[in-house]
């Protein structure tokens, strides 16, 4: 059975076509700059990579081009081979605690949630509508970034604000990166050889979140009402004093939206280093002795350590800590510095094992009190698995 996993952004559309008989990727790629001059498609299959500039005015055109390419390049013989389309959906609020088949009723519910993720949900809906039209016989499924975190208890997800804000406005912690954290929980269970375990999952890339997991369920997570909360990220501030917002508004003559935009797009590694949102560039600055780069790197490490320590106490100890996503999977220096600061918990790493990047590997030493793993995440595969599961029901 063939299933395509879709991640639609405001000006992009990423895709992975799976043969679910053996969970292999047949083809993958993305459209970039949709609706913008200079749009192009990248597609990889059979060891080949094709990059083509195209006129892609909207997501419907992108989907049409993609499906034509899949047949023209003989990646598939017929569109009827695609049995399902799984869509990443950023925000499901507390309406959805698991993936769902998209029918007309569900689609209207999804549209009603756009105010909770105005940069992402509308783009996700565009992708859904385009595929429902282009492949009317395929089953479309929504897979939510927020769903995994619906197992948090009320004491955890409620903010210490007027309770009616929750009841009337939906103000609460939702959490994100749930599809990634769920994948890590599944893979960690295999590595640990048990179903009952305590785990801290560190999804650290350009965006980042930490998740406390017990017996494969989320107990707490660092992102909150929006993905702006939690650890320091590439361009996001993470947790800051909310009184900063009106202060900066007054001092710089900005409105609230503009200040929040600064916290989302001009903060984090980029804001502190004044150099880049990419950790590799920041580390280059550190090597050059740049003060702001060193400060940005150290602050980043400290914020990750802060959350790991918090969740260690919350879980009353942990069996394993897992690093995943761009920085977690590939940046050995940052992994090492985080682990060094956890030495008081009995964490010890094997320097040789920590040199390995992009692979599943145990980087803790034999005498470490906590197992430390690197597990490359695979959100697309999780989307495809959920789609297959719902098709087969």
Catalytic residues, which ones?
145
Neighbour count for residue 101 (Cβ, 10 Å): 14
CB 163 within 8 A of CB 127: no
Listed in sequence order, the residues at least 6 apart from 235 whose beta carbon sits closer than 8 Å to its beta carbon are 206, 264, 265, 266, 267, 268, 269, 270, 271, 277
Secondary structure (3-state) at 272? helix
C-alpha 130/C-alpha 150 separation (Å) is 29
C-alpha 177/C-alpha 92 separation (Å) is 12
Q: Is 53 exposed, middle or buried (0-12, 13-18, 19+ CB in 10 A)?
A: exposed
C-alpha 91/C-alpha 175 separation (Å) is 9
Name residue 214's beta-bridge partners.
198, 217
Task: Report DSSP state, residue 350.
Answer: -
Secondary structure (3-state) at 281? helix
Task: Report DSSP state, residue 231.
Answer: S
């Amino acid at each position: 059975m063939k299933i395509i996993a879709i991640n639609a952004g405001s000006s992009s559309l990423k895709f992975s076509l799976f043969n679910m008989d053996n969970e292999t990727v047949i083809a993958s790629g993305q459209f970039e700059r949709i609706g913008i001059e200079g749009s192009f498609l990248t597609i990889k299959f059979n060891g080949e990579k094709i990059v083509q500039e195209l006129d892609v005015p909207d997501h419907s055109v992108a989907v049409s081009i993609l499906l034509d390419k899949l047949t023209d390049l003989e990646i598939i013989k017929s569109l009827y081979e695609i049995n399902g389309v799984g869509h990443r959906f950023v925000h499901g609020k507390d309406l959805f605690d698991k993936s769902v088949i998209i029918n007309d009723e569900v689609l209207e519910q999804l549209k009603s949630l756009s105010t909770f993720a105005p940069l992402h949900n509308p783009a996700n809906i565009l992708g859904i509508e385009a595929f429902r039209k282009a492949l009317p016989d395929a089953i479309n499924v929504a897979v939510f970034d927020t769903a995994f975190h619906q197992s948090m208890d009320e004491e955890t997800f409620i903010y210490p604000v007027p309770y009616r804000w929750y009841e009337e406005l939906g103000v609460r912690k939702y959490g994100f990166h749930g599809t990634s954290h769920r994948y890590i929980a599944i893979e960690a269970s295999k590595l640990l050889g048990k179903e009952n375990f305590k785990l801290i999952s560190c999804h650290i890339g350009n965006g980042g979140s930490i998740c406390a997991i017990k017996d494969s369920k989320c107990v707490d997570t660092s992102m909150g009402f929006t993905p702006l909360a939690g650890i320091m990220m590439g361009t996001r501030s993470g947790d800051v004093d909310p009184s900063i917002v009106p202060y900066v508004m007054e001092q710089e003559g900005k409105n609230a939206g503009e200040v929040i935009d600064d916290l989302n797009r001009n903060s984090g590694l980029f804001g502190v280093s004044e150099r880049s949102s990419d950790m590799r560039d920041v580390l280059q600055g550190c090597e050059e002795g740049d003060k702001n780069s060193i400060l940005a790197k150290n602050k980043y490490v400290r914020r990750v350590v802060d959350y790991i320590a918090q969740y260690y106490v919350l879980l009353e100890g942990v069996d394993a800590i897992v690093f995943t996503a761009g920085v977690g999977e590939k940046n050995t220096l940052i992994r090492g510095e985080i682990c060094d600061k956890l030495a008081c918990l009995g964490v010890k790493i094997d320097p040789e094992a920590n040199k390995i990047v992009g692979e599943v590997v145990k980087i803790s030493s034999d005498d470490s009190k906590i197992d430390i793993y690197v597990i490359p995440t695979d959100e697309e595969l999780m989307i495809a698995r959920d789609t297959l599961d719902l098709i087969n029901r």
